[in-house]
Amino acid sequence: MKPPLDCDAVLVDATGTLFHPSPCVGAVYARVAAAHGWQADAAALDEGFRAAWRERAPGRYADDPERRTSDAVEKAWWRGTVRRTFELAGFPPPDAACFKGIFDAFADPAAWRLFPDALPALEALRQRGLTLGIVSNFDTRLRRICDGLGLTRVVDFVLPSAEAGVAKPSPRIFEAAAGLAGTEPARTLMVGDSPDDDVAGARAAGCLALLLDRQVMSPLPDAIRSLAELLPLVRARTA
Protein backbone atom coordinates (compact mmCIF):
# COMPACT_ATOMS: atom_id res chain seq x y z
CA MET A 1 0.00 0.00 0.00
CA LYS A 2 1.29 3.46 -0.92
CA PRO A 3 2.04 5.92 1.88
CA PRO A 4 -0.67 8.53 2.48
CA LEU A 5 -0.49 11.69 0.39
CA ASP A 6 0.61 14.87 2.12
CA CYS A 7 -1.65 17.75 1.11
CA ASP A 8 -3.30 20.78 2.64
CA ALA A 9 -6.35 20.91 0.37
CA VAL A 10 -8.56 18.49 -1.53
CA LEU A 11 -10.47 19.63 -4.60
CA VAL A 12 -13.40 17.52 -5.76
CA ASP A 13 -15.28 17.49 -9.06
CA ALA A 14 -19.08 17.81 -8.97
CA THR A 15 -21.14 15.89 -11.55
CA GLY A 16 -20.24 12.21 -11.67
CA THR A 17 -18.09 12.57 -8.55
CA LEU A 18 -20.32 14.03 -5.84
CA PHE A 19 -23.76 13.87 -7.47
CA HIS A 20 -25.65 12.77 -10.56
CA PRO A 21 -28.93 13.68 -12.32
CA SER A 22 -32.00 12.12 -10.72
CA PRO A 23 -34.23 11.10 -12.32
CA CYS A 24 -32.36 10.67 -15.59
CA VAL A 25 -31.75 13.65 -17.87
CA GLY A 26 -34.37 12.44 -20.34
CA ALA A 27 -37.06 12.30 -17.67
CA VAL A 28 -36.45 15.95 -16.73
CA TYR A 29 -36.42 17.01 -20.39
CA ALA A 30 -39.69 15.16 -21.05
CA ARG A 31 -41.42 16.62 -17.97
CA VAL A 32 -40.50 20.18 -18.86
CA ALA A 33 -41.30 19.65 -22.55
CA ALA A 34 -44.77 18.35 -21.65
CA ALA A 35 -45.43 21.50 -19.64
CA HIS A 36 -44.64 23.50 -22.78
CA GLY A 37 -46.77 21.43 -25.13
CA TRP A 38 -44.13 19.02 -26.42
CA GLN A 39 -44.91 15.32 -26.07
CA ALA A 40 -41.60 13.46 -25.95
CA ASP A 41 -40.59 10.07 -24.56
CA ALA A 42 -38.23 10.17 -21.59
CA ALA A 43 -36.24 7.07 -22.60
CA ALA A 44 -35.77 8.35 -26.15
CA LEU A 45 -34.64 11.74 -24.86
CA ASP A 46 -32.23 10.12 -22.43
CA GLU A 47 -30.63 8.15 -25.24
CA GLY A 48 -30.66 11.27 -27.38
CA PHE A 49 -28.86 13.17 -24.64
CA ARG A 50 -26.16 10.52 -24.36
CA ALA A 51 -25.64 10.63 -28.11
CA ALA A 52 -25.62 14.43 -28.16
CA TRP A 53 -23.06 14.49 -25.35
CA ARG A 54 -20.77 12.04 -27.16
CA GLU A 55 -21.06 14.14 -30.29
CA ARG A 56 -20.63 17.59 -28.80
CA ALA A 57 -18.56 17.29 -25.62
CA PRO A 58 -15.17 16.57 -27.27
CA GLY A 59 -15.35 19.82 -29.24
CA ARG A 60 -16.87 21.95 -26.51
CA TYR A 61 -13.95 24.39 -26.45
CA ALA A 62 -12.47 23.57 -29.84
CA ASP A 63 -12.51 27.21 -30.93
CA ASP A 64 -10.59 28.37 -27.87
CA PRO A 65 -7.56 26.34 -26.73
CA GLU A 66 -7.45 28.45 -23.56
CA ARG A 67 -10.94 27.12 -22.69
CA ARG A 68 -12.26 30.51 -21.65
CA THR A 69 -15.83 30.39 -20.45
CA SER A 70 -18.62 32.27 -18.72
CA ASP A 71 -22.27 31.81 -17.83
CA ALA A 72 -23.22 33.04 -21.31
CA VAL A 73 -20.83 30.63 -23.03
CA GLU A 74 -22.05 27.70 -20.96
CA LYS A 75 -25.72 28.51 -21.55
CA ALA A 76 -25.18 28.79 -25.31
CA TRP A 77 -23.48 25.41 -25.36
CA TRP A 78 -26.34 23.84 -23.42
CA ARG A 79 -28.86 25.42 -25.77
CA GLY A 80 -27.20 23.63 -28.68
CA THR A 81 -26.95 20.38 -26.74
CA VAL A 82 -30.62 20.38 -25.75
CA ARG A 83 -31.61 21.11 -29.35
CA ARG A 84 -29.41 18.28 -30.60
CA THR A 85 -30.82 15.94 -27.96
CA PHE A 86 -34.36 16.44 -29.24
CA GLU A 87 -33.22 16.06 -32.86
CA LEU A 88 -31.41 12.78 -32.19
CA ALA A 89 -34.41 11.51 -30.22
CA GLY A 90 -36.65 12.21 -33.23
CA PHE A 91 -38.58 15.16 -31.79
CA PRO A 92 -38.95 18.79 -32.89
CA PRO A 93 -36.44 21.06 -31.13
CA PRO A 94 -37.83 23.02 -28.17
CA ASP A 95 -38.48 26.73 -28.44
CA ALA A 96 -36.78 29.36 -26.27
CA ALA A 97 -39.31 29.09 -23.45
CA CYS A 98 -39.01 25.32 -23.27
CA PHE A 99 -35.21 25.48 -23.27
CA LYS A 100 -35.32 28.01 -20.44
CA GLY A 101 -37.55 25.64 -18.48
CA ILE A 102 -35.12 22.77 -19.02
CA PHE A 103 -32.10 24.89 -18.13
CA ASP A 104 -33.76 26.21 -14.99
CA ALA A 105 -34.88 22.71 -13.96
CA PHE A 106 -31.25 21.67 -13.59
CA ALA A 107 -30.60 24.58 -11.26
CA ASP A 108 -33.00 22.89 -8.83
CA PRO A 109 -31.21 20.61 -6.35
CA ALA A 110 -34.20 18.24 -6.66
CA ALA A 111 -32.92 17.31 -10.13
CA TRP A 112 -29.74 15.87 -8.60
CA ARG A 113 -28.86 13.16 -6.11
CA LEU A 114 -25.75 12.77 -3.99
CA PHE A 115 -23.72 9.60 -4.26
CA PRO A 116 -23.96 7.85 -0.87
CA ASP A 117 -20.23 8.22 -0.20
CA ALA A 118 -20.07 11.96 -0.94
CA LEU A 119 -20.98 13.66 2.34
CA PRO A 120 -19.34 11.06 4.63
CA ALA A 121 -16.04 11.36 2.73
CA LEU A 122 -16.06 15.15 2.74
CA GLU A 123 -16.92 15.27 6.42
CA ALA A 124 -14.09 12.86 7.23
CA LEU A 125 -11.59 14.93 5.23
CA ARG A 126 -12.74 18.10 6.95
CA GLN A 127 -12.21 16.48 10.35
CA ARG A 128 -8.59 15.89 9.32
CA GLY A 129 -8.08 19.63 8.99
CA LEU A 130 -7.99 19.73 5.18
CA THR A 131 -9.34 22.64 3.16
CA LEU A 132 -12.02 21.42 0.75
CA GLY A 133 -13.21 22.86 -2.54
CA ILE A 134 -15.57 21.81 -5.32
CA VAL A 135 -14.13 22.60 -8.76
CA SER A 136 -16.33 21.83 -11.74
CA ASN A 137 -16.92 22.64 -15.39
CA PHE A 138 -20.29 24.20 -14.66
CA ASP A 139 -22.04 27.54 -14.72
CA THR A 140 -23.05 29.39 -11.58
CA ARG A 141 -26.14 27.21 -11.11
CA LEU A 142 -23.67 24.98 -9.29
CA ARG A 143 -23.84 27.12 -6.16
CA ARG A 144 -27.60 26.63 -5.73
CA ILE A 145 -27.23 22.90 -6.35
CA CYS A 146 -24.47 22.55 -3.77
CA ASP A 147 -26.46 24.57 -1.24
CA GLY A 148 -29.53 22.40 -1.69
CA LEU A 149 -27.63 19.12 -1.49
CA GLY A 150 -25.89 20.09 1.75
CA LEU A 151 -22.44 20.27 0.21
CA THR A 152 -21.77 23.94 0.94
CA ARG A 153 -21.74 23.32 4.67
CA VAL A 154 -18.89 20.81 4.44
CA VAL A 155 -16.60 22.55 1.92
CA ASP A 156 -14.74 25.83 2.09
CA PHE A 157 -15.55 27.03 -1.41
CA VAL A 158 -17.29 26.19 -4.68
CA LEU A 159 -15.60 27.21 -7.93
CA PRO A 160 -17.58 26.72 -11.16
CA SER A 161 -15.57 27.16 -14.36
CA ALA A 162 -17.92 29.95 -15.50
CA GLU A 163 -16.85 31.96 -12.46
CA ALA A 164 -13.17 31.11 -12.82
CA GLY A 165 -13.31 32.18 -16.47
CA VAL A 166 -11.60 29.01 -17.68
CA ALA A 167 -12.62 25.36 -17.81
CA LYS A 168 -10.76 22.22 -16.88
CA PRO A 169 -8.27 20.92 -17.94
CA SER A 170 -6.79 24.43 -18.11
CA PRO A 171 -4.14 24.69 -15.38
CA ARG A 172 -5.47 28.15 -14.58
CA ILE A 173 -8.61 26.86 -12.86
CA PHE A 174 -6.55 24.59 -10.60
CA GLU A 175 -4.17 27.42 -9.81
CA ALA A 176 -7.15 29.61 -8.93
CA ALA A 177 -8.57 26.87 -6.70
CA ALA A 178 -5.26 26.42 -4.90
CA GLY A 179 -5.24 30.17 -4.31
CA LEU A 180 -8.73 30.03 -2.80
CA ALA A 181 -7.55 27.16 -0.60
CA GLY A 182 -4.57 29.22 0.55
CA THR A 183 -2.03 26.62 -0.46
CA GLU A 184 0.38 25.70 -3.25
CA PRO A 185 -0.59 23.44 -6.18
CA ALA A 186 1.98 20.87 -5.00
CA ARG A 187 0.06 20.63 -1.71
CA THR A 188 -3.33 20.36 -3.44
CA LEU A 189 -5.06 17.12 -4.41
CA MET A 190 -7.71 16.98 -7.17
CA VAL A 191 -10.19 14.09 -7.25
CA GLY A 192 -12.60 13.58 -10.15
CA ASP A 193 -14.02 11.17 -12.69
CA SER A 194 -12.37 12.57 -15.85
CA PRO A 195 -8.85 11.35 -16.76
CA ASP A 196 -8.34 14.43 -18.93
CA ASP A 197 -10.18 17.24 -17.18
CA ASP A 198 -9.48 16.26 -13.58
CA VAL A 199 -6.30 14.19 -13.55
CA ALA A 200 -4.23 15.43 -16.49
CA GLY A 201 -5.38 19.02 -15.99
CA ALA A 202 -4.52 19.06 -12.29
CA ARG A 203 -1.13 17.46 -12.83
CA ALA A 204 -0.32 20.00 -15.54
CA ALA A 205 -0.89 22.68 -12.91
CA GLY A 206 1.49 20.92 -10.51
CA CYS A 207 -1.25 19.44 -8.32
CA LEU A 208 -1.64 15.91 -7.06
CA ALA A 209 -4.53 14.02 -8.67
CA LEU A 210 -6.57 10.83 -8.30
CA LEU A 211 -9.10 9.40 -10.71
CA LEU A 212 -12.46 8.32 -9.33
CA ASP A 213 -13.73 5.44 -11.46
CA ARG A 214 -17.11 4.37 -10.13
CA GLN A 215 -17.78 2.08 -13.10
CA VAL A 216 -14.44 0.26 -12.77
CA MET A 217 -13.44 0.91 -16.37
CA SER A 218 -10.08 2.64 -15.99
CA PRO A 219 -6.85 0.68 -16.52
CA LEU A 220 -5.03 2.99 -14.12
CA PRO A 221 -3.89 0.90 -11.13
CA ASP A 222 -4.18 3.79 -8.69
CA ALA A 223 -7.75 4.77 -9.61
CA ILE A 224 -10.16 4.73 -6.69
CA ARG A 225 -13.63 3.18 -6.99
CA SER A 226 -15.41 5.29 -4.40
CA LEU A 227 -14.72 8.39 -2.34
CA ALA A 228 -14.48 6.12 0.70
CA GLU A 229 -11.29 4.71 -0.82
CA LEU A 230 -9.81 8.20 -0.75
CA LEU A 231 -9.66 8.37 3.03
CA PRO A 232 -6.77 5.94 3.65
CA LEU A 233 -4.78 7.72 0.92
CA VAL A 234 -4.81 11.19 2.47
CA ARG A 235 -2.88 12.09 5.59
CA ALA A 236 -4.42 14.41 8.19
CA ARG A 237 -3.14 17.97 7.96
CA THR A 238 -0.58 18.92 10.53
CA ALA A 239 -0.33 22.39 12.01
**Do residue 137 and residue 181 come from a single domain?**
yes
Report if residue 3 sits inside a domain: no
- With a cut of 90, say whether residue 29 has pLDDT above it: yes
State which residues form the domain around 81.
Answer: 23-110
**Do residue 13 and residue 130 come from a single domain?**
yes
* Amino acid in position 88: L
Coil, strand or helix at 133: strand
Angle at 199 between CA 145 and CA 65, to 5 degrees: 85
**Do residue 131 and residue 223 come from a single domain?**
yes
pLDDT, position 63: 83
**Do residue 127 and residue 228 come from a single domain?**
yes
Query: How many domains, in total, are found in the chain?
Result: 2
Among candidate residues 210, 172, 168, the one with its CA nearest the CA of residue 193: 210
pTM for this model (two decimals): 0.94
Last residue of a domain, one of 70, 91, 110: 110
**Do residue 130 and residue 229 come from a single domain?**
yes
Domain containing residue 204: CATH number: 3.40.50.1000
**Do residue 172 and residue 61 come from a single domain?**
no
**Do residue 94 and residue 120 come from a single domain?**
no
DSSP states of 174-223: HHHHHHHHTS-GGGEEEEES-IIIIIIHHHHTT-EEEEB-TTS----TT-
**Do residue 36 and residue 138 come from a single domain?**
no
Structure confidence by residue, pLDDT tens digits, 136-178: 999 999 999 999 999 999 999 999 999 999 999 999 999 999 9
Residue 182 falls in which region: left (phi positive, over 0), alpha (psi -120 to 50) or beta: left
Last residue of a domain, one of 75, 95, 110: 110
pLDDT band at 73 (very low <50, low <70, confident <90, very high): very high
With residue 55 as reference, give the H or E element that holds it. Answer: helix 42-56
Coil, strand or helix at 206: coil
CB-based contacts of 233, cutoff 8 Å, min separation 6: 2, 4, 5, 210, 224
Average pLDDT, the chain: 94
Structure confidence by residue, pLDDT tens digits, 180-226: 999 999 999 999 999 999 999 999 999 999 999 998 776 667 799 99
